[in-house]
Chain A
Amino acid sequence: GIQVEQSPPDLILQEGANSTLRCNFSDSVNNLQWFHQNPWGQLINLFYIPSGTKQNGRLSATTVATERYSLLYISSSQTTDSGVYFCAVVRTSGTYKYIFGTGTRLKVLA
């Protein structure tokens, strides 16, 4: 099956710092998503990004499908960015697959 690996597993930043989170996947996929789960458990769907680059405020994501990875950039981090960031890949050809990575736990210090 498709393997999804995220790195780093844990990250601690000072407020205002920038960071890059990585998601590697082992096979071709039709779609890729990034999610944020805040410390209270609420999940937010950040991006659908099968390829290319998208930006939303201080967050941006880039997926290079041919090299099987995606990056999530967080600029000028704030304490509200703390939580766990998950990527998930979707493959619709053949048996449907929707697989989550194990997440990157981010803590932003004031």
Chain B
Amino acid sequence: DSGVTQTPKHLITATGQRVTLRCSPRSGDLSVYWYQQSLDQGLQFLIQYYNGEERAKGNILERFSAQQFPDLHSELNLSSLELGDSALYFCASSLLGGGDTQYFGPGTRLTVL
């Protein structure tokens, strides 16, 4: 158990809908990362937060947004969902957010029908 929790484990929704994925980092970790893993695109880095502030942005679509709250948990919001958004979404956390070990949650599997 990495200490990183993600909810929900599975999510099935329809095209055009909006969903929110939640991540609770390991106790004491200040940085949260979001990744998407799909059969088409492989593993992709989406975005990183450090202590509530956005630190790095990757291949995150404009339809997606994220934030890190004062208690350090993070949410990834996906809107106007398309079939191609079906994927496994991972969250990871690390203590400092730069060159230190990331600990991954179990992922949320999103299926868009």
- List A residues at the B interface (Cβ < 8 Å): 31, 41-45, 48, 50, 86, 88, 92, 96-100, 102-103
Across-interface contacts of B107 in A (CB, < 8 A) = 41
Within 8 A of A (CB), among B35-68: 42-45, 56-58
Kindly identify which residue among A31, A86, A97, A102 contacts B99, using a CB–CB cutoff of 8 Å. Answer: A31
- A48–B101 touching, CB < 8 Å: yes
Q: Which residues of B contact A (CB under 8 A)?
A: 2, 42-45, 56-58, 88, 90, 92, 99-104, 106-107
Q: Which residues of B contact A50 (CB under 8 A)?
A: 99
Residues of B within 8 A of A31 (CB): 99
Interface of A is mostly: strand
A48 to B98, CA, bound (A): 10
CB-nearest residue of chain B to A96? B56
Contact of B102 among A41, A45, A96, A100 (CB under 8 A): A45
Q: Select which of B45, B88, B100, B104 is within 8 A of A98 by beta carbon.
A: B45
Q: Is the CB of A102 within 8 A of B42?
A: yes
